[in-house]
Amino acid sequence: MDTIEVIKNWVERNSEVLDLGCGDGEILKILSTESESTVIGVEINQEDINSCIKSGLNVIQQNIDEGLENFGDKSFDVVIMSQTIQVLKEPKKALMEVTRIGKESIVTIPNFGFLSTRLSLLFSGKMPVTGSLPKNWHETDNIHLCTIKDFEILCNESSINIIEKRFFNSSGNESLLAKISPNLFAATAMYKISQ
């Protein structure tokens, strides 16, 4: 099962969904049509906002780092933050806000502890470029890289409940190795969380 399928399974039909850092709206389009959910995206990049609008999606231009006070407590059934938390200035604050706004939240992170990332750093002596970290260190939006263990420790310290978690290999699919030892063999991790 890939990440999109997991998200579709985790979001109940007719849910109210907020996607923070929605990009071009791919996830929102799928949830809107296949799950008949009411969807809203938050994005800062103008090109991505234009793509969302062309697709008929509701999108708000907003910088997540500047706060999310315009959204009330538990105002959405699900808040999604896919591949976004590592580009924010204050990931812990964002995580607390996501779980405040959503009854449940789905967070996807790239795993810097992934074996190929470790080996690339070890043997090349420089920051790796991988499928989940596709740009050179000086070009990347990522400012807070973490491992699966780091993220789970943060959730524990922040009293955030991990309801379910899934781990994906570099092809974007679940695998036995990623399930057995995720911090070493998962390129990305997806969590369903709540406060």
Where are the domains positioned within the chain?
3-194
One DSSP character per residue, 20-47 reads: ET-TTSHHHHHHHHHS--EEEEEE--HH
Q: Which CATH superfamily is domain 3-194 in?
A: Vaccinia Virus protein VP39 (3.40.50.150)
Query: What is the predicted pLDDT for the residue at 139?
Result: 65
Run of H or E residues at 17: strand 16-20
| Residue 185 burial (C-beta neighbours within 10 Å; 0-12, 13-18, 19+) | buried
Q: How far is CA 140 from the centre of its chain?
A: 16
Query: What is the predicted pLDDT for the residue at 131?
Result: 67
Query: What is the predicted pLDDT for the residue at 140?
Result: 61
Beta bridge partners of 80: 19, 106
Query: What is the predicted pLDDT for the residue at 144?
Result: 75
Closest CA to 87 of 142, 43, 39: 142
Query: What is the predicted pLDDT for the residue at 49?
Result: 96
Digits of tens for pLDDT over the chain (195 positions)? 788 999 999 999 999 999 999 999 999 999 999 999 999 999 999 999 999 999 999 999 999 999 899 999 999 999 999 988 888 889 999 999 999 999 999 999 999 888 888 888 778 887 767 766 676 666 666 667 889 999 999 999 999 999 999 999 988 899 899 999 999 999 999 999 999
